[in-house]
C-alpha cells in the first residue's frame, strides 16, 4: 500500500509542478486512445472472441457484442493503469519515451482517473450483459495486470513476463465464461497456448532491447540471467508450446486445418528458437531474435484465426474430444 500511496503523492507533485505551465498537458483523443494500448487491446479482443466462439453454448449476438466490448475496455483500462504506474521508466526507454504521460501530453492523475473509470465501467457492463462470474474474472484480470504484474512483478523479478503473462492469457477464458458462466478445459487450453507463447515472444524482444531495460532498471531475463540463459529459456518454452498448440485438436474443437496450421507453425517456432539459441553474437544474433519475435506474432494469430474460421464455417473436429 505504501508504494501506491507514494506513487499517488508523486502524481500530485507532478501535476502541481505542471499547473503553472498551460502547455504541458492537454492530450488529444489520439493520446487517450494510446493510453489504452490499442495493439494489445486488439489481441485481447481477438482471443476473447475465439474463446466465445469455441465455447460450448450460445449467446445473444447483441449481448455478445456488448460483452466483447466490455472485455476490450477492461483491457484498455489495464493498459492505461500500466502506463500511469510505469511513466517513470517509460521516460528513459527509447521505445516508450513518446507515450502520452512521459511526453507530457496527459497528466498522470488524468490517466489514473481514466483507467479507474474504465475498469469499473467494463466490469459492470460485462456483468449486466453476460454474467457476474465473467465480470469477476475480468476484474481479477485487471487487478492482476495492473497491480500484481505492473506494480510488483515487473520491477521485482526476471520471471515478470512468465507470471505476469497470465493476465494476457486470461481473455479466451473470460470470453468462454461470458457465454457459459464457467471455464472448461477448452478455455484452459487456449490459456495455456498464450501463457507458454508469452516468454519466447517477449524475451526475443528483450534480447534486442536489453539496453533499454537496463537503463530503466527493469530486471528482464537478459539483464539478470544473461543472454545465453535467456536463449535456453526461450528454447525450453518453445518446445513446450509446440505440442500444447495442438491441444484444441485433442479436446475436440480444433479440426484438420487447425492441426495442420498448428503443426507447421509450431515447427517454425522451434526452428527459429533453435536459431536464437545457436546464434549468440553480432548482427546474426539480433536478426535471429527479431525474426522469432515477428514470427511469434504470426504464429499466435494463425492459430486463433484458424480456430475462428473452423468454428464459423462449421468444420468437423478430428476427435470427439475430452473437453466437450
Look at residue 21 in the predicted model and tell me its pLDDT: 41
Question: What is the Cα–Cα distance from 209 to 93, expressed in whole angstroms?
Answer: 9
Long-range contacts of 141-150 (CB under 8 A, 24+ apart): 141/74, 141/78, 141/167, 141/170, 141/171, 141/174, 142/74, 142/77, 142/78, 142/81, 144/170, 145/78, 145/81, 145/82, 146/78, 146/81, 146/82, 146/85, 146/115, 146/119, 150/81, 150/82, 150/85, 150/86
Rg (CA), the chain: 20
Look at residue 16 in the predicted model and tell me its pLDDT: 54
- What's the gap between Cα 24 and its chain centre? 31
Tell me the mean pLDDT in the region 106-119: 96
Whether the pLDDT of residue 278 is over 90: the answer is yes
Asked if 134 and 127 touch (Cβ cutoff 8 Å), the reply is yes
Look at residue 321 in the predicted model and tell me its pLDDT: 45
Asked if 78 and 140 touch (Cβ cutoff 8 Å), the reply is no
Q: What is the DSSP letter of 21?
A: -
- Farthest-apart Cα atoms in the chain, separation: 67
Between 114-123, 156-165, 195-204, 297-306, the lowest mean confidence (pLDDT) is in 156-165
Look at residue 12 in the predicted model and tell me its pLDDT: 59
Within a 10 A sphere around the Cβ of 154, how many other Cβ atoms?
A: 20
Within a 10 A sphere around the Cβ of 12, how many other Cβ atoms?
A: 12
Assign 147 a pLDDT band (cuts: 50, 70, 90).
Answer: very high
Assign 23 a pLDDT band (cuts: 50, 70, 90).
Answer: very low
Look at residue 58 in the predicted model and tell me its pLDDT: 86
Assign 314 a pLDDT band (cuts: 50, 70, 90).
Answer: confident
DSSP H stretches of helix in 245-315: 247-251, 256-278, 282-313
Tell me the mean pLDDT in the region 29-50: 94
Assign 11 a pLDDT band (cuts: 50, 70, 90).
Answer: low
Tell me the mean pLDDT in the region 285-289: 95
CA nearest 200: which of 292, 95, 265, 304? 292
Average pLDDT of the chain is 90
Look at residue 19 in the predicted model and tell me its pLDDT: 47
Asked if 164 and 211 touch (Cβ cutoff 8 Å), the reply is no
Between 12-16, 73-77, 224-228, the lowest mean confidence (pLDDT) is in 12-16
pLDDT in tens, 160-209: 888 888 999 999 999 999 999 999 999 999 999 999 999 999 999 999 98
Could you give the 3-state DSSP secondary structure of residue 255?
A: strand
Question: What is the Cα–Cα distance from 227 to 22, expressed in whole angstroms?
Answer: 45
- How buried is 314 (Cβ within 10 angstroms: 0-12 exposed, 13-18 middle, 19+ buried)? exposed
Look at residue 56 in the predicted model and tell me its pLDDT: 85
Look at residue 165 in the predicted model and tell me its pLDDT: 87
Question: What is the Cα–Cα distance from 2 to 302, expressed in whole angstroms?
Answer: 44
Whether the pLDDT of residue 324 is over 60: the answer is no
pLDDT in tens, 241-259: 999 999 999 999 999 999 9
Tell me the mean pLDDT in the region 77-92: 94
CA nearest 262: which of 300, 317, 222, 209? 300
Assign 1 a pLDDT band (cuts: 50, 70, 90).
Answer: low
With vertex at residue 39, the alpha carbon angle to CA 246 and CA 293, rounded to the nearest 5 degrees, is: 55
Tell me the mean pLDDT in the region 229-236: 97
More confident residue, 51 or 321: 51
Amino acid at each position: 500500500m505504501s508504494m501506491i500511496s507514494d506513487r499517488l503523492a508523486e502524481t500530485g507533485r507532478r501535476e502541481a509542478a505542471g499547473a503553472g505551465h498551460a502547455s504541458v498537458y492537454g492530450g488529444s483523443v489520439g493520446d487517450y486512445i494510446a493510453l489504452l494500448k490499442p495493439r494489445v487491446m486488439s489481441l485481447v479482443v481477438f482471443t476473447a472472441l475465439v474463446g466465445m466462439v469455441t465455447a460450448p453454448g450460445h449467446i445473444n449476438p447483441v449481448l455478445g457484442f456488448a460483452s466483447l466490448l466490455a472485455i476490450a475496455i477492461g483491457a484498455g483500462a489495464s493498459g492505461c493503469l500500466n502506463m500511469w504506474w510505469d511513466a517513470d521508466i517509460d521516460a528513459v526507454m527509447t521505445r516508450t519515451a513518446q507515450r502520452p504521460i512521459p511526453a507530457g501530453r496527459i497528466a498522470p492523475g488524468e490517466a489514473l482517473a481514466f483507467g479507474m473509470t474504465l475498469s469499473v465501467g467494463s466490469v459492470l457492463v460485462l456483468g449486466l450483459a453476460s454474467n457476474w462470474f465473467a465480470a469477476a474474472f475480468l476484474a481479477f484480470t485487471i487487478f492482476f495486470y495492473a497491480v500484481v504484474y505492473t506494480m510488483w512483478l515487473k520491477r521485482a523479478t526476471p520471471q515478470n513476463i512468465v507470471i505476469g503473462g497470465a493476465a494476457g492469457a486470461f481473455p479466451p477464458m473470460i470470453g468462454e465464461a461470458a457465454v457459459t458462466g464457467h471455464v472448461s478445459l477448452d478455455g484452459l487450453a487456449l490459456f495455456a497456448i498464450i501463457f507458454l507463447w508469452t516468454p519466447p515472444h517477449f524475451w526475443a524482444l528483450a534480447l534486442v532491447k536489453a539496453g533499454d531495460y537496463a537503463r530503466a532498471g527493469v530486471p528482464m531475463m537478459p539483464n539478470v540471467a544473461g543472454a545465453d540463459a535467456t536463449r535456453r529459456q526461450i528454447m525450453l518454452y518453445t518446445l513446450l508450446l509446440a505440442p500444447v498448440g495442438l491441444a484444441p485438436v485433442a479436446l475436440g474443437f480444433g479440426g484438420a486445418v487447425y492441426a495442420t496450421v498448428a503443426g507447421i507453425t509450431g515447427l517454425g517456432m522451434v526452428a527459429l528458437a533453435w536459431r536464437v539459441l545457436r546464434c549468440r553474437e553480432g548482427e546474426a544474433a539480433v536478426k535471429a531474435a527479431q525474426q522469432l519475435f515477428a514470427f511469434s506474432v504470426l504464429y499466435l494469430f494463425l492459430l486463433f484465426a484458424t480456430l475462428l474460421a473452423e468454428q464459423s464455417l462449421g468444420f468437423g473436429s478430428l476427435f470427439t474430444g475430452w473437453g466437450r
